[in-house]
Structure 1
């Protein structure tokens, strides 16, 4: 019997080619995009899922009279303290990024994600090794572990154990292990260097108030997490309470499960951006909506063509076919269509997945379908789609009475027709919400990109100088700047530890004049040279800029922004001449010489924060900002590259245009807007198919009526109005539902930005007008075709 069902299904697909193509394409698009979203959501949910459940990151929570905050960094002395005093901790692993590590291979320098890691790293984390012993690979000094891809990149083979790596030209490290490539962790590394190489030399491990380490702890079995956390939390104040209290700080440690860091922690990982849980909810909702829309189309199109099957149903019932067997037949037909659509969807996924992988910066691959949970999910998706798309039309067709179906009766029950109208409204509600959301997201993105940031972002290129030999750079700093300025088109140059869009030294303790140590504040401190504000075009509200005419500026001069003045309680005029210090930053005794107008050091997602700029040690400079006075940026860059090759042979010039780099801060929002725009267009297309189906159904039902009206003298526009007003009413109802929902959803999304655009009513007007226009076009074309048909043929239906 099943063979007969399948043969009948194929025969019917071939008979109604247009119906079959529309149904298969609609379902394929729904399945494909639901599948792509499913892969993306699954990969995000898998980040760190393979790590042990008893592995935790230790974070620092601190508060004072003026603020409360958290950081993923811990005091260096906490690491030996946990080892000594917390017996519940099985492994304690210090980790620190080594961002300026250059790897020298055949006189060429590479910069890969490098991390200093404690000796128990591979016992605590689940990163499988292809080569080397996990217990010993990081035990001794000058040991290195590479990922498989990195080993092949440097040595042409993954069998790199025993090979020598030179870090920053002078430090020789022996490769002791090669790790399997991975893609799902909040720690994204290519090279691990043994922490013991630097412990006790570069890093003084007795310091508590230098929160520049990340610490991971594996708890022993049968240990209560809360008890262990309470013991670890008390260590900072018990061991270093006097120093913390002298700065007005209360400090404690907290434990975060490593499996939860990517999606649930407010703090980032290492070399890996944070996941966005809200975005996953949005995408999951869109995926479900797309699948529902595709199924709704199937229902509408199937019922629109049900009259073609009426006589077939009547014959089968007269011959003794039961309702159950007819439902089974139609469900098999639906399954055949779904399977064909699933095969087409697989091809669409294969084509589009690299594009999604590029914009999401995640490793997405069709190999995910080898996972048992994905295989089961795919089968379940096909079953659910078959049931959603096929159950209603199958039951409707199977329940037709033989006498009615043999007459070719087209009219269905009012309740069924009402349901189809509800489904059409639902389709348009989803489409309209996505279109409105896309317009708001694009408006916010444009607002962020075009807003005056308080400095000149045009015509500035930034050179990354963190990856060149620092001693040479510092010794020849002024000479390098002067030589670069001799090239045509270069107006000014400034070095600093941070740039707009890039952090300086965030979270530094600052003590203004008149404040006790306990009342100290936390600000972002940016060491720079004296041309920083000039090069960036930052204006001053009070006082003056740095000047070589004042020798004390190089050692004591300080610039504050207006927000720093507000945090302290000074007006810009009052701030001039006041003393301020930040001993952890090297600013022991500063004097405020000027107050900058507030500018956006970071993206518009965050409020402007207090900033302190002073002439710090040149060893701290990471960037050179080059202000161009020419529009020919490529010529200027060519000159800089030529200079760079001469000064730093073997070191690739890493540069970026400041304007483009600032837009990088909004990459997540830009990607979201692009993806939602694509989904909005897709839902419009699917909704249009649904409207096509229900319009065909309506016109088929009213064929006689249209013929009679034509005979009685009705004009074409009268017939279009007769059929079209019902659908226009459905769109209006959809608008009344979608507008408040879209307004609420986008207002909620805009709350993520400290500086945001407004939601104007014209966005909804444009969306509504577009929906009405699409509806009028589809309904008009089908109705005109029916109205122009020969009335004699329209009336000859028996």
Structure 2
């Protein structure tokens, strides 16, 4: 019997190919998009869950009573191993590491790479697997290195490369060979190797390598080391609070001990508790839910719309002895079959579009066969539930008609709830309008991020990481190189600095007015640069000078501050600040030689904060050349710059990025959201138009005779078109009235996270509603004209 139901269902679907195609296509696209977001949410929610003994793995976090003394995600260098040694009954294992950038070479291959220098417990503590090498001994030798599978292929063309050597450069400019002792198998995203979203470690060195690199993994004054612990079974994070405070009080400086409150977060929840991650998951989940809901509403609408065509078929079946129960099962079978086909198509569409979605969401997307079993169970349950819901109403409605009414095709006997379907269409229009308004506002805000009001000029500006020689000689060499690069006709100016304007400052200082109480201090962002920084980034100078042309030792106390720092120190104007002094903790008195205009150093989530520049010659710390190119043939200019770079610094890779790339990393989440909102808007509009098409088709079918009478009585085509437009314009108008307040509330809440935001005016609301109205009107007009041009004689014969 079931086979007969399926056969009849297939024949009916084939007979009405147009409606079948619309239904299956719309629903499969909605399911595919939902599947993509579900996979993304599952991946983000399972970050760190694959680590060995993940329930007992923790990261040490730092809460500073006075801001600017340290970072929340790092801890004191000496704390993790001290906890393991002094409290073995609480701590099963410990791992702490320092992340650095350096040049790695193999023959004539030279690349800037991210190195993670840490304890030998790294591999076994987290259960990372090696394709080659022994995890127990891989990080025992001071000059050993474990690399990822990707890097093994990059440098050696194969993964079985244990015993091969790579040359790594220290921060003193020295080079040493490191022996590859292990190749890590590809691992999923985690917070051990990928703590910072845009900084994924791929080279792992033993803690003993810090001596060669010139770093520190033991000092209790080093507050920028990542500390991780594996606790014993049954031990809670609260059990470590007392021991951590005790060790800090005994070993750290009084100021650190008085201001630092350490605490533990389980790695299972650490990544997911990030506000940005939470916000992204919630936003994308809501988008996917609404798209799926629209697709389902569309499917139900078209099922109901097309079912009334089959009234005579139902009458014939009843006359021939068909039971109502059999008719209901037939309708449900057809509906479930269509949903099943759409559901089966969606994984295929997902597989084909996976690279696109991976680029859209800036992440790797798991293959469809790698998903857990409950994904497939969910798809099966979805097909059954939606199929039954979509087919239930027309099945009950049509099977309840008398045989004679069905045979005569009297649609007026059908209790057809047009209002209900118009409400569904209104819901779809509201959702599409909200999506379109959100896309316009998000796009405008991101344009603001990349716009001209950053306080510096990012056009034709590139930056490139440098080989490290953090000594007086090293800085002098870099300044000579910078000078020669600046003389190229393609280069307008160049600067040597620790920072580019991406929020990554060298640190913070607690500063306060000269002679004031230290308790009145406030956090100031510390930057290190040469005297060409303001010129290269085109940061306006409000007073004084951006350091002297030639640095001498007596200038070591001279600093440049921004307007926010000038106001925080109590100066009425930038000119008043020139030559004045202020104090800072752990530092001598500083003298202000210049004041620059406020510029956006980090993301626009907060206002511009106090900031000061120290001369690179005083600190001997640097990371980047920033180079301002002249407008022209950019590719040719970069080629000339690379040639000169290689001549001046052989062995140093010229790996440059434009300033726009740095901003894109800062606003990665917002750019993701922008792309997702564009896609969601496109899908929403397609789905709402498909739903509108189904409703118009039903309305035209039911009013065919009316159209014929109106034509006979002299009605024009325009009059008939307006008759149908009038009904749906009201629906769209009501949908717009619902959508605008909702969209305003949503986008106003989203914009409140930014100190600088695009104005929320009437433009996105008006443009969205007008666009939807125009597109809908074109579709309605096209469908109605077709019916209005039909022969009225044929129309009048329609019951």
Q: Do both share a fold (TM > 0.5)?
A: yes
Q: Over aligned residues, Cα RMSD in angstroms?
A: 2.7
Tell me, yes or no, if the aligned pair for 2:48 and 2:190 is still in contact at 8 Å: yes
Give per-residue Cα distances to partners, 1:109-155, cap 9 Å, x unaligned: 23333211212223332323334443333244223222223223333
Q: Residue in 2 aligned with 1:597?
A: 597
Q: Residue in 2 aligned with 1:256?
A: 265
For residue 575 of structure 1, the aligned residue among 574, 577, 583 is: 577
Distance verdict in 2 for CA 1:236–1:516, change over 3 Å: farther
Distance verdict in 2 for CA 1:632–1:614, change over 3 Å: same
Alignment of 1:770-781 (within 5 A): 770-781=771-782
Give per-residue Cα distances to partners, 1:269-303, cap 9 Å, x unaligned: xxxxxx62222222212222222222222222222
In 2, Cα distance between equivalents of 1:593 and 1:667: 36
2:97 matched to 1:112?
no
In 2, Cα distance between equivalents of 1:660 and 1:104: 25
Give 1:23 deviation, angstroms: 1.4
In 1, Cα distance between equivalents of 2:706 and 2:454: 65
Q: Residue in 1 aligned with 2:189?
A: 184
In 1, Cα distance between equivalents of 2:584 and 2:117: 28
For residue 89 of structure 1, the aligned residue among 76, 88, 91 is: 91
SS in 2 for 1:103: strand
Q: Residue in 2 aligned with 1:135?
A: 136
For residue 63 of structure 2, the aligned residue among 61, 64, 68 is: 61
Tell me, yes or no, if the aligned pair for 1:547 and 1:553 is still in contact at 8 Å: no
In 2, Cα distance between equivalents of 1:152 and 1:548: 47
**Higher deviation after alignment, 607-616 or 475-484:** 475-484
Tell me, yes or no, if the aligned pair for 1:453 and 1:600 is still in contact at 8 Å: yes
Tell me, yes or no, if the aligned pair for 1:82 and 1:232 is still in contact at 8 Å: yes
SS in 2 for 1:797: coil
In 1, Cα distance between equivalents of 2:559 and 2:311: 86
In 1, Cα distance between equivalents of 2:459 and 2:183: 44
SS in 2 for 1:110: strand
Tell me, yes or no, if the aligned pair for 2:479 and 2:496 is still in contact at 8 Å: no
SS in 2 for 1:306: helix
Give 1:178 deviation, angstroms: 2.4
Tell me, yes or no, if the aligned pair for 2:512 and 2:569 is still in contact at 8 Å: no
In 1, Cα distance between equivalents of 2:120 and 2:490: 51
**Higher deviation after alignment, 320-329 or 573-582:** 573-582
Alignment of 1:295-334 (within 5 A): 295-334=296-335
Distance verdict in 2 for CA 1:603–1:399, change over 3 Å: same
2:422 matched to 1:417?
no
SS in 1 for 2:352: helix
Give 1:516 deviation, angstroms: 4.2
Tell me, yes or no, if the aligned pair for 2:312 and 2:407 is still in contact at 8 Å: yes
In 2, Cα distance between equivalents of 1:457 and 1:204: 35
Q: Residue in 1 aligned with 2:360?
A: 359
Alignment of 1:690-729 (within 5 A): 690-729=691-730
Distance verdict in 2 for CA 1:394–1:209, change over 3 Å: farther
Tell me, yes or no, if the aligned pair for 1:89 and 1:219 is still in contact at 8 Å: yes
What is the number of equivalent residue pairs in this alignment? 783
Give per-residue Cα distances to partners, 1:486-540, cap 9 Å, x unaligned: 3213233211111222522133444552244454432221111122222222222
SS in 2 for 1:752: coil
Distance verdict in 2 for CA 1:467–1:632, change over 3 Å: farther
SS in 2 for 1:74: coil
**Structure 2 gap segments, 5+ residues each:** 195-200
Tell me, yes or no, if the aligned pair for 1:58 and 1:216 is still in contact at 8 Å: yes
Give 1:198 deviation, angstroms: 2.2
Give 1:573 deviation, angstroms: 4.1
**Structure 1 gap segments, 5+ residues each:** 267-274
In 1, Cα distance between equivalents of 2:242 and 2:374: 38
2:739 matched to 1:738?
yes
Give 1:256 deviation, angstroms: 1.2
Distance verdict in 2 for CA 1:471–1:463, change over 3 Å: farther
Alignment of 1:181-580 (within 5 A): 181-186=186-191, 187-188=193-194, 189-198=201-210, 202-204=214-216, 207-240=219-252, 242-244=254-256, 250-265=259-274, 276-411=277-412, 416-466=417-467, 473-510=474-511, 512-548=513-549, 551=552, 554-571=555-572, 572-580=574-582
Tell me, yes or no, if the aligned pair for 2:362 and 2:672 is still in contact at 8 Å: no
Tell me, yes or no, if the aligned pair for 2:560 and 2:593 is still in contact at 8 Å: yes
Give 1:468 deviation, angstroms: 8.2
Tell me, yes or no, if the aligned pair for 1:41 and 1:280 is still in contact at 8 Å: yes
Give 1:648 deviation, angstroms: 2.5
Distance verdict in 2 for CA 1:69–1:385, change over 3 Å: farther
In 1, Cα distance between equivalents of 2:444 and 2:584: 41
SS in 2 for 1:223: coil
In 1, Cα distance between equivalents of 2:445 and 2:622: 33
In 2, Cα distance between equivalents of 1:502 and 1:279: 21
Relative to the length of structure 1, the TM-score reads 0.92
Tell me, yes or no, if the aligned pair for 2:112 and 2:655 is still in contact at 8 Å: no
In 1, Cα distance between equivalents of 2:386 and 2:412: 27
Tell me, yes or no, if the aligned pair for 1:104 and 1:167 is still in contact at 8 Å: yes
Q: Residue in 2 aligned with 1:649?
A: 650
In 2, Cα distance between equivalents of 1:384 and 1:581: 70
SS in 2 for 1:594: strand
In 1, Cα distance between equivalents of 2:674 and 2:270: 25
In 2, Cα distance between equivalents of 1:138 and 1:13: 64
Give 1:475 deviation, angstroms: 4.6
**Higher deviation after alignment, 283-292 or 382-391:** 382-391
Q: Residue in 2 aligned with 1:16?
A: 16
Give 1:19 deviation, angstroms: 1.4
Give 1:552 deviation, angstroms: 5.8
In 2, Cα distance between equivalents of 1:201 and 1:310: 82
Q: Residue in 2 aligned with 1:45?
A: 45
